[in-house]
Amino acid sequence: MSIYWNQRVKTLSPYIPGEQPRQGGFIKLNTNENPYPPSPKVIEAIQKAAGDDLRRYPDPACMELRSAIAHRYGVMPEQVFAGNGSDEVLAFAFAAFFESATGKQKALPILFPDITYSFYPVYAQLWDIPFRPVPLAADFSIIIEDYKQSAGGVVIPNPNAPTGRALSRSDLVSLFRFHEQDGEGASVALVDEAYAAFGKDLEVAPLIHEHPNLLTVHTLSKAASLAGLRVGFAIGNQELIEGLCRVRDSFNSYTVDQLAQAGAVAAILDAPYYEGVNQKVIATRNRVSAALPALGYEVIPSQGNFICIRALQKTGAQFFSFLREQGILVRHFDKRRIADFLRVSIGTEEEMDRFLEVCESYRAL
């Protein structure tokens, strides 16, 4: 710990990303990347944008990208915010809408699941926002009634990660309505839809017209096969979008570069390509989920591009190490309740066939 760090840095517990191996030879199923390449139109657009204009700053408003997203979701460009990956968008949202404990008024804690994306408590700690993790049910589902209490805001990942379970639209709408009318004051309901494209009828972005406290956050890393491009966006009413812009412009007005904007526009416009790609991921997920119980594994029902599984009679650490020895990288979270589970990203058909072979051999040990 450095003597030059301020107290905020000293007390941070930073997020730890999934391993990105420098050497080859691994089947990489640990960071929920899409196993299929991006649309050829994305590559073409990036190549076309890589010209003399790179000497210019990119459009800070990202208007072409926001217009494409608005058309896709049936909203106005003014209701869309674009950022450098959904992690940045989430960080801005925490800063813009959730009250710090050191603010002038008493801050109510924000609510999010106790087993979820581990960046949420990091953001809360970074911005000094009080938070209360809400326990998942015994089957790892989110109990929506537990979030109907006075709070500084709620964060709901749908589907949740690492479990993969999802909430219905009707459940989410009841939550939006509660926090619009909460006696302590209306608060923002943030829905993280990083994996919504892999579920059925999960996206709630068009509901911003009826629910002014709703903000949805999206990424092109998963469904658009663009984890390396770093583009995310949010959809909400114009007041919420303006709040995000105020935070961004107090930090860095040019967060999305020209190449990323060009590639992201092409990805948003090529919906047919990605519909085909993601249907393949869903089919593979369903096939693997159905095969694992017969091999002696517990599988949490998933609507993401990953599954969360447990090897019966084995610890998660043992199973993780065995898979790694066999050249398969997955994600192990050494936390209470899920320490014996592993999150497995869905790879290609061939990669998942090999994964099932290794799982079967592990059962025989």
Specify if 82 maps to a domain. yes
pLDDT at 312: 87
Specify if 10 maps to a domain. no
Q: Please give the residue range of the domain that contains residue 145.
A: 40-269
pLDDT at 184: 66
Query: Is the domain of 218 the same as that of 354?
Result: no
Query: Is the domain of 52 the same as that of 32?
Result: no
Domain boundary among 269, 296, 319: 269
pLDDT at 182: 65
Specify if 265 maps to a domain. yes
Q: Count Cβ neighbours within 10 Å for each residue of 344-359 and write b for 16 or more, e otherwise.
A: bbbbeeebbebbbebb
Rounded to whole angstroms, how far apart are CA atoms 100 and 90? 16
Q: Which token pair is 170?
A: 């009707």
Query: Is the domain of 231 the same as that of 303?
Result: no
Query: Is the domain of 83 the same as that of 118?
Result: yes
pLDDT at 104: 56
Query: Is the domain of 293 the same as that of 355?
Result: yes
Given a contact cutoff of 8 angstroms between Cβ atoms, the answer to whether 124 and 154 are in contact is no
pLDDT tens, per residue, the chain with 365 residues: 899 999 889 988 888 888 888 888 899 999 999 999 999 999 999 999 999 999 999 999 999 999 999 999 999 999 999 999 999 999 999 999 999 987 656 789 999 999 999 999 999 999 999 999 999 999 999 999 999 999 999 999 999 999 999 999 999 999 999 998 765 678 999 999 999 999 999 999 999 999 999 999 999 999 999 999 999 999 999 999 999 999 999 999 999 999 999 999 999 999 999 999 999 999 999 999 999 999 999 999 999 999 999 998 889 999 999 999 999 999 999 888 999 999 999 999 999 999 999 999 998 77
Tally of domains in the chain: 2
Query: Is the domain of 193 the same as that of 254?
Result: yes
Backbone phi and psi for residue 112, each to the nearest 5 degrees, phi listed first: -155, 165
Specify if 7 maps to a domain. no
Query: Is the domain of 177 the same as that of 77?
Result: yes
Query: Is the domain of 88 the same as that of 205?
Result: yes
Q: Give me the CATH number covering residue 331.
A: 3.90.1150.10
Distance of CA 141 to the CA centre of its chain: 17
E strands of the chain, at which residues? 27-28, 80-83, 110-113, 131-134, 153-157, 189-192, 214-219, 232-236, 297-300, 306-311, 328-329, 331-332, 341-345
Q: Give me the CATH number covering residue 258.
A: 3.40.640.10
Query: Is the domain of 215 the same as that of 305?
Result: no
Specify if 3 maps to a domain. no
pLDDT at 193: 98
**Residue in the structure block whose two tokens are 């089919």:** 283
Query: Is the domain of 201 the same as that of 312?
Result: no
Domain boundary among 269, 303, 324: 269
Domain boundary among 243, 269, 295: 269
Nearest to 93 by CA among 194, 274, 210, 233: 233
pLDDT at 186: 83
Query: Is the domain of 301 the same as that of 249?
Result: no
Query: Is the domain of 208 the same as that of 337?
Result: no
Peptide bond into 130 cis (omega under 30): no
**Local structure of 345: helix, strand or coil:** strand
